[in-house]
Amino acid sequence: SQQGEEDPQALSIQEGENATMNCSYKTSINNLQWYRQNSGRGLVHLILIRSNEREKHSGRLRVTLDTSKKSSSLLITASRAADTASYFCATGGTGANSKLTFGKGITLSVRP
């Protein structure tokens, strides 16, 4: 069953602009993670935010988490053409297992 749902499904922006992607989920989580996938490749972990955290930064990435609204956002600042990829949110449950449930992904295109 799909836990995370990303929004929008596709996003096209100009190089230098900021890209904001959203993720909503349904059940309680231990953490929420964002991954990136370049075309035809495997996923690469970008950032993890725990359920007791509200905001986290990593380079040009900023992630927020609102557990009351069951939602997260990923902001990429000063986007580059190389940021063109699919982005997935994944939620880790509170149970004693290590499964993640992935959303369907957002396709980001950054025009040079």
Partner 1 sequence: DVKVTQSSRYLVKRTGEKVFLECVQDMDHENMFWYRQDPGLGLRLIYFSYDVKMKEKGDIPEGYSVSREKKERFSLILESASTNQTSMYLCASSIILSGRNTQYFGPGTRLTVL
**Residue 102 CB, nearest approach to partner 1 (Å):** 4
Backbone angles phi, psi at 81, to 5 degrees: -55, -35
**Residue 17 CB, nearest approach to partner 1 (Å):** 26
Q: Establish if 88 lies at the interface with partner 1 (CB under 8 A).
A: yes
- Looking at beta carbons only, is 48 or 61 nearer to partner 1? 48
**Residue 14 CB, nearest approach to partner 1 (Å):** 26
**CA distance linking residue 55 with residue 34, whole number of Å:** 13
Q: Which residues within the stretch 26-85 sit at the binding site for partner 1 (CB under 8 A)? A: 30-31, 33, 35, 40-45, 48, 50
* Cβ-Cβ contacts under 8 Å for 57 (sequence gap 6 or more): 63
- Looking at beta carbons only, is 14 or 98 nearer to partner 1? 98
**CA distance linking residue 36 with residue 43, whole number of Å:** 5
Which residues are at the interface with partner 1 (CB under 8 A)? 1-2, 30-31, 33, 35, 40-45, 48, 50, 88, 90, 92, 97-105
